[in-house]
Each structure stands twice: as structure tokens, then as C-alpha cells.
Structure 1
């Protein structure tokens, strides 16, 4: 801590800054109230004038133009209100802690030095002539993270600039009061980092802008790489760093990038909720978030797609040779080759009937005939567009025919007055010369409504039979089949067809089937996204990553994970992964950054966790000490249950959250059923949970990835409970613990517990 005179001087500045923040908060609230009033007025006007005359052709274009103008007014008003609301939120954040760092610099040729203060957002004085606080993402703020005292350089829009860094000061400010302050030559001094890491777990991840390390800063400020792979050990701050990277990119390219053009693939819903407050705490909107399960559900509407968690529960990590082949880059290339052969006419395109009222409306043969009449030199997607246009014209003609059929007249007669009024729209009885003319009009309107389902089927390519097409691909091998014998391929096709009949799809088929569908239809790609972030990269097959590259064709990729936490696929070394992904994702400027410093856990917990790994010595434990992890072995179920309850109570005595981790969901449910009567605040979590409450949490390890807990209990570390190839599983479990790790075993422990690992444990044998 600095001397009292300097502390008093710095506190005076904090007080002055907060006074100016309060003034700006008051002014922003006034502007926000006015903007809210304006938005409501524009929305009211829009709702009163937002109807289109859809049946008078001459009026449609004029109506749409007027409505589009109104919609733009609503959008601009809402955007202005949103900007002011975010400004107010940022000011409220700054009021509690205006900044966390100070740098004193002296530019070449200047006589006087300048003091700059670094915070989560920039802040100017009332007359906007001077910065009171610089945004941590500003070019000059990079000195705070990367520079050591002396001559330093920083990147600006006009090029590299040099300056003299004379002082680097760090603050901890809580509710406007400086609680810690010291000068350092490091990026972030150990004292501040110790304080930041010593807190207890929260339901939400916090931003780390005050404690960003040098190697993390390299990741955050990189704008050149089209493929960045971040291989980071457990607790190295991978996810935090990536979220700060997103905030930096939004700041760096604010004129051309918004949060809706960034997507993050999260491992599960719990994790999505856990990180949901980081960007708002930095004054930014959240990027789009999706899980793999959610992504596949949207791509396969109406199908129950197997999740990676479901598959792990069934077969563990080893899905056999068929899975390895089908999730390989070679298999995806085989799909590409097959679609080209369909284009060349070597294989047929498969169609199916479009039905309406349980009868064939357009037969598969009729659709095939229309398609066959299109110029063969055109691409399949272009021929399909022409086919769809032809079908729409035929549908329009059929709509007039269907309007005169008995089924429609019966429906028309059964309509209530309210339904008839809705069909009439703005028309009235006196708009028609007689009742017969009105009935014809209503019949056409009703036919149009009922046949909309056929129009949707045409638009959504329901006349294409992707089931048969994919089976045709599987049955013709295309080179990949050499790695699997014919009997296995036949069984594969039969299994696929059986699942399809019951509206199910195994995960192994998802990527190749999506790619086949996209290549044939020319659809499925999204060119709007500029950045794609994939967390827990080791949970994705090569085939799925290739499909993401296809979907997000214009995006730069940042892929992060820890190969040692590979629960669903065999381990890949980082360097080999970089080479493979650079090739498969067609990267021109790939970069691999490795994070080896673990910050999450105490020195003792990290020392145990890394001792489980063959190359664990490469992991660096942070020098924050705590109690030694414990291993309690019992040989009777009743004693094991007592040990488990005791471990939970010991954890709750010190921390608000205790996590009990298991290998599978079934194990988690069994433990919950066993002990829930002993605890008031206990929860069994599964893949559907979105919130992570306090108390006792029981969950499988794969749902805990990316999360951290004050106290972790590994429920059963016996060979039977952990299963085969348990090194990555146990490492993942152990590295979730921040302050306390208790390991139980019912019977002898797994072979993963080597002599080296056991030396880092406090071992108790319960012999009774």
C-alpha cells in the first residue's frame, strides 16, 4: 500500500471523478426519459398505421413503403433509447469503481509527463475536453498490460508510437473507496491477483479487465488471425480472455461490427448463463450464444437429434471405428465429392410427394419432371429455384380450383362471424355487388390461408427426399467405405433408416447430412457473422468444425479449449490440432497461443490435478495456498454415504456452494436420491438447466466444464465409477475446485491415481 499522503491524493481524485459521474448520470436519466417517451409515441403511431391492403395490387407497394418508413422510425427511436440505457449502465458501473490502473508516460520531445487512468470504459469531463478515464481497450491502454517501465511502444491507427513509461499504479476501488493501491513493474502485481482470485464463487463470471495478464492480452488484442486456437490449461482464464476479446473487437471495429455479428458456441446452458454478465459489465451487448444441441435442433426441426451428452452416457468416449471415420475430414470431403457427382448426373436427385389434407398435392414424379426440364448446365440450386417458382405458379392456379371444392365450402359455412370478419379484412358487404361475389372472395381468401402450408413446403424444400439421398450416399461408399466393411455399412444404413422413421438422428450423421443438404439446395450458409468463437473445442468432431467453416464462410474463428479435458473424443496435441484445423478450415493466418498458468485453484489443488497428466509439469500453479486435497477411501456403502454427507457439511461450513461431481447423469441422480433428505438447498443439474443456484449441486462432470466452484467433491473415484480412460475425466473434475477438493472412493481407487498424484493428497482409509 502506498503512503497515506499519496493515498489521500488519489482518493480525492476518485471523489472528484465520482462527482462528475453523478452529474452525467442525472443528465443521462433525463435524456433516457425523453427517449423512452419518444419511442412509445413512434410505436403507437406505427401500430395505428401498420396495415397493408393485400388485395388491391396498386396499393401494396405504396402501403409497404409507408410502413417501412414507420418501421425505420421505430427502430431508430428504440436504438437511441438502447444507447442511452447502456450509457447509464456504464456510468453506474464506473460510479462504484471508476478505474483500476494508472500509467505515467512522457512522450519524446515533451517536458511534462502525463498521468492516464485506465477503467472498464472511457469517461470525459463535463465539457468533453479531457479524458478522466481511458477505456481499457484504447490503444494507449495496451501499455498498462504489456509495458514494463522504460521505453515502450503501442499501436495506434496511424502506426506504432513510442513513449516512456515512468509509473504503473494499480488500484482496488470498492464503492468509491480505494481499498488497495501500489506501484508495480508487472502487468498485474501478485498482490492484486491474489485478492482477485481469493474470492468465493459467484453465479456469474466476472470481467477480468483489471487483472489481464500479458499472454491473455495478446489474445484479446489480436485482429489479424483468421484462425486463432487458444490451448489453455484448466483455470487459465481462457473463457474470460475470450469474452474480453469480444469486448475489444466491438470497441476496435465499432463502425463495422455489432454484437449480432458474433456468435459463441457454449458447452451447455449452465455455462451460457454463467458468462452472461461479463459483456454487460463492460458496457457491451452480449454476442449471440448457442449450444451445439441448440444449433442442431434449429437445423433439424422436427427431428430429435442425439446430443453429445446423450452419446457419452451411452458409449463413453470410444464410439468405435465407424464413428471415427464418419466424423473425419475425409468423410466430409466424400459428401462434397458425392454432391458434385449428383450435379454431373452420375447419381439421381431424390424427390418426395408434397401432401395436403392427407392426399398427394404434388407428386414426387411431377416435381422430378419439372426439375428435369430445367437446363442441365445450371447448378442444382439454380434448377431448384426454377422448380420452386414453377410449383408456386401451379399452386396459385390450384388455389382458385380448391376454392370451389366441397371441403372448402363446408369449412366456409362453419366459420364463426368473428372468423368471417377477419377474412374480410377492410372489405365490407357494400364492396361487393351481391352475396355470391362476397362468398367467392371469402372462398379464395380461405383457400389461400389453408394452402399456405403447401407454399411453405415448397419454400422449405420439403419436396426433396434427403433421407433417401443420404442413404444413397452411404450406400455408394465414395472411398471412405474402404475403412469400414460392407456389413457395417449395411447396418449403418439400416440403423439410420430406423431412427429416421421415429424422427431421431444420431449425432454422427448430423454434420455430413447438413452439408449434403446445404450443397444440394445452395442454402444453409450465413454470411453476416464476422466472428465465430467455439469454447471447449475438444468437444467438437473434425466434421462438425468443418461444417461450421462452411456455414460461417466469411467469419474469423477463435477456437479455445484444453486437450487434457477431452471427455468425448481422443486427445489431440495443440500443434497437431493447429495444423489440422488450418488445413480443414482453409486458414490463411492461423495462430496458436498456449496458456500454461492456472489461476483458478489453490497451489495444492493445481499440483494434484497436474500430477495426473503425463505432461503436467508444463502447467504452472499460481502461488495461492490453501488446504491439501483429501482422498477418503471406504469399503462399505454405508460408510461411503456417511463420508459423502460429512464432506458436504464441511464444504458448506466454509463456502456457499459445494459441487458433487460424477461421471454420468445417472450417477448424479442416484447420489441426489441418496442424500437430498439431509440438505435443504440441494439441486441435481442436467443439460436442461439454465441457472446455477447456490447450495449443494450434484451434476455430471461434462456439465461442469468451464465452471468453477468453491468446494468440489468427487463422489466416487473407484475404477468402476470412473470407467476406462479416466485421466481427462478426473483432471476435469479436480480442476473445477477453487478452494477445496475432497475425493471419495467406494472401494479401491482408479489406476489414474499414480504414486506421484497420491503424494499431493491427504489420504484416509475407512476400514470399518
Structure 2
């Protein structure tokens, strides 16, 4: 709507914005006074903390009074800090409302009512200070579903009191900046093209934006889903999967305020940089960030102290670069097989066999002697009732070992080594021993060490008690079972493997012997391949007992198509009571294990939950990229015709062919200059591998201001980056330069690399430039040639670098 077309309505809406901003200003003023007062009070409490505490440690009664006084002061301070933090968050939200109070309006006439309700929607609710009616409704309020789910016409709203039916008379959208309406228009669809064009046409930021004003109907289904135990979201690249998931978290925290907090929600993201990229979305919506981690970080925390643990990026680098190395075929076969449900079943069969035989036990040693041999432990374990689960038999075995250790502790007190150890006690240890024994033996309250025999007895107790501690700790941790050697038996013992397969009702794969050799060679030197890490940890937990997390209520898994069946099975056991939201795009399955069986969707995950507890939502429309880019990328994959591009204009992708690497680097440099000069804030040179990224970075670093992104990079920043393909997943850039789109090994020539190439190209929001060294990738031949422009001479109006190097509007 243009101002000249409907000026009276525009003027009326602006008057309302002005009034709302005045109310916000008054609320800000009141809160600023409140926070200032609370802050001064906190400072005063901290300054005078000990002055207001009665301190007396002379007797137990006075100590209790001291403790109560400390507790009271700490609680007062904690309450003031909570109040100050809450007010500070409210202030932050109000300042955002002052700039842009709301983004939408709906007029809803309920059946049987004479007057329509007029509802304005923003990132937070705001009430009129005079009569307490809502000036703005939070976008997460139930009534907001009318805005997201219906065009003008018949509509219905589910509420706790029942279904409300009526008619949506008006749906209006706003772009408001600094309290001024920039654009205003009415729409007959969920979100008008004008608003999406305005939002999507902007240059990219260093963090993902919160775009609650542009949520689509299918995304709204994801956000407000409260029923499903497992919510599967399958969406094309750029369809808003991650954005909807983060806004789902904000909705859940709003909907279950008081019973759900951010610490009870965990996001498993693809890499540390992605965590940085999405870290501002929830704070923008006035919520605290949830727990964020990667599956690799979890594996590292559990296994990193015992093994040299491979990460998924090293595994993928191997898959992409080591094709000519010995053992490549068997390693790749093992990677793919260990990602399947068949291997999960084999391990479950193996665990079934271990319940009857085959567990490897270590000797339990006390000082230099064997207290109980591994063989004796095994005999005791397998002598227990086999109807008892393995973890419970482990605990019973541990209790038996602790009893034997306690008996050995008693006999050790009179042994000669104890006298020697007592003689070596220094004064500090002597006093520590006395205090320890005094706490444990109340009869020592009025005693002193004035009797030699008594002193020797008590100090001997202390020495033996300290000597026993390491053994007791190892027993309690169940380290008497050798899980590494037990796990190895599956690959070392052909009869054990056959028994496990028979138990599972499956057949071993054709290359089982080669897979076994490859696995054994690594584990014997304590190297843990990424494909073995989760199965091994699964075996550890099934033997010793799962360390389940019962406090986390929602788990979000992004880029779920890259998870294996085993990782899903493990996470299901780790979070047995959590609701799962899994997001992914099968066309972006780029991990080394990707195969027909390993990439059949989320079948493995869905099989872990009842069908009535599961819901699948498919997002087909892509919003990230311009229409020409989406039309191009959709031709790269077999089922790309199902992807619906949003109608945002732009230039076709451009393919430039270079004769050699020097020419290629020169063309890249010139193209980067033009893109930066045109105002693109985030530009990525995406290489196939990490090794290629390092080489390109070294070649350009003295000519172009850029950064190298590696697996350990933890922050996403604007500017020009050189980044390997697998780290670019989940992130978007204003412009993308695909470094080598040739059919050579350095490019994308194999069918197994098709999805990787697709993933790389879909990172571009506004411009996509492909460069090829000599030959052109087979993926760029045939009918797809109609969807990109060729620029063999590299003359796309690039600025040429001068003697000073990189050009950015004439400035370095």
C-alpha cells in the first residue's frame, strides 16, 4: 500500500504507533528507575555482607546461627539479582519495541459477536498502562495463529475453553523502523510477498535473524507443535528449518513459562561455528539461550581421555581425498556399514551373547598384589542369575568385590609396609589423619595421641584407608570389565561375530573380514575412528548402565540427515523422556557414511518411537536464495522438481573456467573485489576439503583481506572467508564462490559428491559464482546449462587488483 493510495489509514496507523511508543517510553523510564534502585541495593548488600552476618564458630549452636545468618543474606542478594536480571531483560525487549512495536494486525470477528477484535502482533506483549488491555500481543500467544495460518475469510482458533470460529476480516503487515511506518500493506495470504522481499533482500549478518513476522503456515505448525514425542522436519535448503526450530524453542519457553527453562532444552548443532551463528535468535526474542553442543563434543567428553578420537571432518576429509591409499575400500565399506540399522542389530545381538559369555574382565589389584583375578570375576559374574540384566549383574559383582576389598583392608593394618608408611607421614599428613579419624570415630573427641600403640593403630588405619581408595574407586566405576577388549572380540573372534549375527537374525556383510582388520588395527593402538565411537560408547553404556539424562525435556537435532542409525539409537537412550525435534534435508547428506541404506530418511529415528507419537512436516519452499539460484540448484539433484523457489529476482549463477591455478586465483581475487565493492557483507570461497581451503587461503591471504574457517573455528563473523564444504552447512552468505567446480579429483566429479556440490551451491543468498579448473563438473552439463551463465573469459565486470592488492572502492 502506497501512502498516496490510502493516506487516512496510514496516518491512523502511524498515530497508533506514536501512542504505543509513548507508552513504551513511560515503561522504560519506570524500569530504568527500578533497575537503578535494585542495582544500588545489590552493591550495598555485597559491600556490607559480612557486617550483617553474625559469625561465631565457638560451639555448634553458634555455628548453626552463623549458617542461618549467611543463608538469609545470600537469599536476599540472590532475590535482588533475579529481580534485576528480569527487569534488565524487560528493558531490552522494550527498547526493541520502541523501534519496531509490531509487524502485523488482524481483525477477527467471532461468530455471534457484533464487533471484531483488533489484534496487533509483535515480539512481546505490551499492556496499556491505563486500562490494562493489550496494545500488542506476543507472536506466541494462541490468537497469533490466526495471522500465520489463515487468509482473510473463515477461520478458527483452538483455545483451552474450546474452539472459537469466526471470520478474519483483515490481515495487515507493517515494516516499522525507529517508530516510523516504512511500509504497510494488506494481504490475502499468510505473509505477503512484499514483506518477504524486504526481509530476504537484505544483506546477511554475522548471526541468524529472528524473523517472526515472516513465519509461514507450515513453519507455524513446527513452532506450536505440543503433541508429538518425535517431530521430524524435512525441508529443502533455505526453507527455514533451523529458524522455525529456534522459534519453536522460544514458543515452548513462553507456553510453559514457570515449568520449562532454557537449561532443559538442548540443541545438537553441526559445528561450533553454527552455535555462534544462531546464538542471538533467542535473546532477540527475550529468552535465554538453550544448551548448545555438538555430538562430536559429547563423544570427546566421554572418550577423549581414553582414545585418540577422530572427528567427523577428518573422516570426511579421508573419504574425499584418500581414494588411492591402501585400505580405502575396506575403510569406506566399514564406515557405510556401521551407519546402518543392520550394524545396530549386530551390536544388540553381540550384547545378547555377552549376557551368556565373552565379557573380558581385568584383575582387581591392591597395591602390587592381585586381589581377585579377571577369571574369578568372570566366574562370579556368569554365576549370577542370567535373568538379571548385565548392568545389574555388574553392580552385584562390584558389591562382591567391595566386600572382599573391605576384608583385605582389615588384614592389611598389621602388615610391615604399613609401619613404613606411618614413619613417612609428615606433620601436615599426621594432623590430617587425626582429623579424619576423629570425624569417623566419635570416641576420639576427647582423646589425643598420647598412647604409642593407639597412635600406631589409628595411623595405620589411615594409611590403609588411603591405599585402598584407588582400588575402591575403580571398582565403583566398574573398570574391572575391559570394554575395549570385549568390543574387539566382535572383530577378532569369527565365532563370536557369527553368534552375534545369529542372535540378531542377520547375515554379516560380504567384506566383514576386511572391516574387522581395519577396525582391529586402530583399536589396538587406542585410535577411535568416528564410525566406531558411538557403537563403542553404546556397548560401554549397555554393559555398565546408561547414564541417562532425565532433566532435559526437549532435544533438537539439526542437520539430522548426517546422523547414523547408531547415533539416533544412542540419543534415544541418553534422553529417554525428552521430546525430539529432528531437522534435515536428505539432499544435503554429505557425510562419509552416506549411502542408499544410510540415507533413506529418518526411518531409523522414526522406528524408535510409536507412530502415533510421531509427526512429519515437509517444507518445500526455499526462501534463502534468489529464484535463479534455486532453479539452478534444484536441477543438481534427482528430486529437485519438488522444491518451490520464492519469487525473488536476481542474476543467474555464473560459471567461469580457468586454464590453471594461478589464473583461477586471479579470477577469484577480482570477483571478490567486485562483490565486496557492491556491499556484500558475507562472502564465502567454498572449497571442497580443508586441505584445499588452506592452500587457497595461503595463495590469497596477502592479496585479499579474508579469514580461514577450520573445524575449531567457534565464531561466525562478517567479511570474506575461505571455508571447506562441510563447515558451510547450515550457514548462508550473501555471495558464494565455489572454488573448483571441475570434474577433476579436486572438484566434484563422482556421483557420490553430487549432494556435497548441491549443499555448497545452496549456501548463496544473492549471488553464486562457480569456477572450474580446466574441465567442468558433469553435474553442470546437459539441460542444467540453461540455468547458469558462462563466463569463460572471466570478464564479469570484475574490478582488477592493482599494485596494492585487493580493491574495495579504491581502499585497501
The TM-score, its normalising length taken from structure 1, stands at 0.88
* Equivalent residues in 2 for 1:173-572, closer than 5 Å: 173-302=176-305, 303-316=307-320, 320-343=332-355, 345=356, 347-353=357-363, 363-365=373-375, 367-368=377-378, 371=381, 376-392=386-402, 401=412, 405=418, 408-409=421-422, 412-413=425-426, 433-434=448-449, 452-474=469-491, 475=493, 476-477=496-497, 478-479=500-501, 482-485=507-510, 489-568=512-591, 569-570=593-594
Q: Give the distance between the partners of 1:434 and 1:224, measured in 2 at CA.
A: 68
1:729 equivalent to 2:732? Answer no
**CA deviation string 1:279-300 (max 9, x = no partner):** 1111112222111211211232
Contact 1:635–1:747 at 8 Å: present in 2 too? yes
Q: CA deviation at 1:239?
A: 0.6
SS in 2 for 1:533: strand
Q: CA deviation at 1:491?
A: 4.9
Alignment gaps of 5+ in structure 1: none
Q: Could you say which residue in structure 1 is the equivalent of 2:769?
A: 742
**CA deviation string 1:297-326 (max 9, x = no partner):** 123241232222111111249864433332
Moved more, 498-507 or 69-78: 69-78
Contact 1:354–1:462 at 8 Å: present in 2 too? no
Q: Give the distance between the partners of 2:662 and 2:11, measured in 1 at CA.
A: 61
Change (3 A) 1:354 1:287: farther
Q: Give the distance between the partners of 1:31 and 1:363, measured in 2 at CA.
A: 69
* Equivalent residues in 2 for 1:608-757, closer than 5 Å: 608-654=632-678, 655-679=680-704, 681-720=705-744, 721-723=746-748, 724-725=750-751, 726-757=753-784
**CA deviation string 1:130-167 (max 9, x = no partner):** 11211111110111111211221111112221122121
SS in 2 for 1:677: coil
Moved more, 191-200 or 309-318: 309-318
Q: CA deviation at 1:236?
A: 0.9
* The structure with more radius of gyration: 2
What CA RMSD, in Å, does the superposition of the two structures yield over aligned residues? 4.0
Q: CA deviation at 1:753?
A: 0.7
Q: CA deviation at 1:371?
A: 4.3
Count residues in correspondence: 759
Q: Give the distance between the partners of 2:546 and 2:657, measured in 1 at CA.
A: 57
Alignment gaps of 5+ in structure 2: 322-328, 796-812
Q: CA deviation at 1:329?
A: 1.5
SS in 2 for 1:471: helix
Q: Give the distance between the partners of 1:93 and 1:46, measured in 2 at CA.
A: 40
SS in 2 for 1:331: helix
Moved more, 739-748 or 31-40: 31-40
Change (3 A) 1:309 1:106: same
Q: Give the distance between the partners of 2:51 and 2:519, measured in 1 at CA.
A: 49
Change (3 A) 1:99 1:661: same
Q: Give the distance between the partners of 2:420 and 2:737, measured in 1 at CA.
A: 65
Moved more, 284-293 or 331-340: 331-340
Change (3 A) 1:749 1:118: same
Q: CA deviation at 1:349?
A: 3.0
**CA deviation string 1:238-285 (max 9, x = no partner):** 110111111112222234322222221101111111001111111112
Contact 1:578–1:590 at 8 Å: present in 2 too? no
Q: Give the distance between the partners of 1:407 and 1:308, measured in 2 at CA.
A: 52
Q: Give the distance between the partners of 2:458 and 2:29, measured in 1 at CA.
A: 59
SS in 2 for 1:482: coil
Contact 1:635–1:767 at 8 Å: present in 2 too? no
Change (3 A) 1:751 1:313: same
> Which of residues 123, 130, 135 is equivalent to 1:132?
135
Q: Could you say which residue in structure 2 is the equivalent of 1:171?
A: 174
SS in 1 for 2:791: strand
**CA deviation string 1:174-223 (max 9, x = no partner):** 22222221222221111111110011111100111011112211221122
Contact 2:564–2:598 at 8 Å: present in 1 too? no
